[in-house]
Amino acid sequence: MDAQHTHARNLLKLIRDRVEAKEPPIVGYAVAATLMGLKGAAYARMIGQVCSRIDAASFVAGWPMLALHMVRKPDGGLNPASFEDPGWIPWEQEFKNEAQSHQWSVEQVDDVLSALDGLPDEGALSIWVGYLKRESQKPGFIRYNLHRKVKS
């Protein structure tokens, strides 16, 4: 198991505890790193990749982007860098709306954890590129997974 996956599991456990305690989102990647026992700002970029991996698991599980919702910028806003690839423009606002409005349960977070363990052994960026490729092969794949469990 690679470091990104291990850190994603650890952050997801922290998120699960926050959901269970009905605590607000974590504000800042440096804060998330510190809560994970890492030395704050030095790990901020890595935390971004970890959040992306959690969101990839959320997507494949059919839920909104959990990390986008639960790990915010220091000002409390959503991280705009989550959608740097122009391929995501058609769905960016839907992803953000779903992430901001969803009320998470512990069972749903556990579902994301199961999906996380089923992700391929590759970086988050590569996984998201694969999702875009699947959309090009099967139009509707992204919208279906974005709303699969939320709207059912």
The 10s digit of each residue's pLDDT in 41-100 is 788 888 999 999 999 999 999 999 999 999 998 998 888 778 888 889 999 999 999 988
Q: Is 76 left (phi over 0), alpha (psi -120 to 50) or beta?
A: left
Coil, strand, or helix at residue 53? helix
* Residue 100 forms part of a structural domain: yes
CA dihedral 132, 88, 139, 63 (to 10 degrees): 90
* Residue 60 forms part of a structural domain: yes
* Residue 34 forms part of a structural domain: yes
* Residue 55 forms part of a structural domain: yes
- Looking at residue 26, what DSSP letter applies? E
* pLDDT at 141 > cutoff 90: yes
- Looking at residue 72, what DSSP letter applies? E
Angle between helix 44-61 and 124-137 (nearest 10): 30
pLDDT at 60: 92
How many other C-beta atoms are found inside a 10 Å radius of the C-beta of residue 118? 10
pTM: 0.92
Which residue has better confidence, 83 or 128?
A: 128
pLDDT at 114: 96
Domain range enclosing 75: 3-147
The pair of three-digit structure tokens given for residue 137, joined into one six-digit string: 């092969």
Coil, strand, or helix at residue 139? coil
* Residue 38 forms part of a structural domain: yes
Task: Report how many domains make up the chain.
Answer: 1
* Residue 66 forms part of a structural domain: yes
pLDDT at 51: 95
* Residue 44 forms part of a structural domain: yes
pLDDT at 151: 59
* Residue 152 forms part of a structural domain: no
pLDDT at 1: 52
